[in-house]
């Protein structure tokens, strides 16, 4: 076997533009979400209001996901992604305007709150297209034999942006305030658009252009639900994200439990992303493909342990460490899941498969935020986080017993075959 080149995908110029574009978009989105969380909780002091933010994004994201996947598979990816980024820019500009002091002073608290919710709702529609389009475009930029390497770098970029976005959000709220922080978010989206223009248009590889939409959706769903490997991977990640939604309650921990202010809030938000990024960076050098199934199960189990520790902690540095380690283990699961998706998905179905994945995993971030907000309202903040961690442990344990084939999953041979050009 040839020596693994950790920088293989980075040798393609367009892939580097793609990474910068993805970084800018994820950075802007994650920063914006943190700023919104802080502003909404500052307005309401109600944990349920944080959950509603997630709900406002998940409703359109889930309802449109499958249709978005069909459209992605039928469309040229660059043009569609331009429309997605422009849509996000409109949302970020709206949030910037609703925080202008001259405008806010004449509006009631509920008007501001409902406007924020409405803009987040619109952002949910944008998100339903954004993920599948990016996933599909990636496969058109690098050769198939480099998919695992490209997926690792793409995921690492996503995590790096997810780390710096929340961290800068916390600092910028403290230094320049919510309003000008949102202005910076808008600027990042424009940068992403500029980077995208450096990538050439790509061919549409779908042989069934013009296929009836419901036939297309049925084909996509059948593929995912009959592929036990893909279904198992995205189901596990969904459970972890759904019940491990402690991140949604971080404004409460920062303000009321740990009492560390907006700077501490930014550190807490950035800690899991830092852990995940370092893990993904390491995975470019050390393969996670051998015994991938047991590694995925073990990583999500340890993620649940970290969530429980965070929920019980009243010491800031222990809370930060727990969040950091949760990111490390989440990074393992993301790398393995993305490798599975890239390897096992046919080119003409990438949009639809990515859409189903976004329903299972991506949207569970927002559903998890709502679950965390609701359980915090019913049983208290600490109990809600511990409950989520325990449910994660229970789910992983059940999965490991009922699916021995997934437990034995090994991706090493598939990846080696691709790298040899077979």
**pLDDT digits over 133-179, tens only?**
887 888 888 887 777 778 778 877 887 787 788 778 878 888 888 88
Please say if the pLDDT value at position 268 is more than 60: yes
Among the ranges given (191-195, 219-223, 269-273), the one the predictor scored with the smallest mean pLDDT: 219-223
pLDDT digits 0-9 by tens, 245-265:
667 777 788 888 888 877 788
Q: Which of 389, 365, 398 is nearest to 303 (CA)?
A: 389
pLDDT digits 0-9 by tens, 74-127:
788 888 999 999 999 999 999 998 888 888 788 888 888 899 999 999 998 888
The pLDDT, as a whole number, for residue 1 is 42
Question: Quick one: pLDDT band at residue 318, thresholds 50, 70, 90?
Answer: very high
| Greatest extent of the chain over all pairs of C-alpha atoms, in Å | 68
Interhelix angle 350-357/316-344, rounded to 10 degrees, is: 150
Tell me whether residue 401 is exposed, middle or buried, using C-beta atoms within 10 angstroms of its C-beta: 0 to 12, 13 to 18, 19 or more: exposed
Domains and CATH numbers, the chain: 9-198+210-419 (1.20.1250.20)
Q: What whole-number distance in Å separates Cα of residue 264 and Cα of residue 167? A: 9
The pLDDT, as a whole number, for residue 409 is 75
Please identify which residue in the block is written with the tokens 């999965």: 399
First to last CA, the chain: 13
Helices within 244-315 (DSSP H only): 250-252, 261-283, 292-312
Interhelix angle 316-344/147-175, rounded to 10 degrees, is: 150
Q: How many C-beta atoms lie closer than 10 Å to residue 419's C-beta?
A: 17
Write out the two tokens for 54.
């997630």
């Amino acid at each position: 076997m040839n020596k693994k080149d950790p920088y293989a995908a980075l040798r393609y110029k367009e892939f580097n533009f793609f990474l910068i574009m993805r970084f800018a978009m994820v950075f802007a989105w994650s920063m914006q979400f943190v700023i919104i969380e802080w502003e909404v909780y500052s307005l309401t002091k109600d944990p349920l209001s944080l959950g509603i933010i997630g709900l406002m994004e998940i409703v359109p994201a889930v309802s449109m996901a499958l249709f978005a996947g069909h459209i992605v598979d039928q469309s040229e990816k660059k043009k569609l992604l331009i429309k997605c980024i422009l849509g996000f820019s409109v949302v970020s500009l709206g949030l910037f305007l609703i925080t202008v002091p001259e405008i806010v002073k004449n509006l009631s608290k509920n008007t501001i709150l409902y406007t924020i919710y409405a803009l987040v709702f619109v952002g949910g529609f944008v998100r339903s297209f954004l993920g599948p389009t990016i996933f599909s475009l990636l496969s058109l930029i690098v050769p198939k034999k480099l998919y695992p390497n490209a997926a690792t770098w793409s995921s690492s970029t996503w995590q790096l942006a997810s780390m710096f976005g929340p961290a800068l959000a916390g600092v910028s709220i403290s230094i320049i305030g919510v309003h000008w922080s949102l202005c910076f978010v808008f600027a990042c989206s424009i940068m992403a658009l500029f980077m995208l223009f450096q990538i050439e248009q790509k061919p549409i590889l779908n042989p069934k252009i013009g296929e009836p939409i419901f036939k297309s959706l049925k084909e996509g769903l059948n593929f995912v639900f009959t592929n036990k490997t893909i279904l198992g991977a995205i189901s596990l990640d969904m459970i972890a994200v759904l019940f491990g939604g402690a991140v949604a309650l971080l404004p409460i921990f920062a303000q009321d439990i740990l009492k560390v202010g907006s700077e501490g809030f930014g550190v807490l938000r950035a800690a899991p992303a830092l852990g995940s990024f370092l893990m993904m960076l390491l995975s470019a050098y050390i393969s996670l493909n051998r015994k991938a199934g047991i590694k995925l199960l073990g990583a999500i189990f340890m993620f649940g342990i970290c969530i429980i520790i965070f929920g019980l902690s009243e010491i800031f540095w222990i809370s930060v460490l727990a969040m950091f380690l949760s990111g490390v283990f989440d990074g393992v699961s993301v790398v393995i899941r993305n490798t599975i998706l890239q390897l096992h998905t046919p080119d003409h179905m990438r949009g639809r498969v990515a859409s189903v994945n976004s329903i299972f995993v991506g949207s569970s971030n927002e559903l998890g935020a709502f679950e965390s907000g609701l359980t915090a309202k019913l049983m208290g903040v600490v109990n809600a986080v511990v409950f989520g961690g325990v449910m994660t442990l229970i789910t992983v344990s059940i999965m490991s017993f009922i699916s021995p084939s997934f437990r034995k999953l090994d991706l090493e041979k598939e990846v080696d075959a691709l790298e040899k050009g077979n």
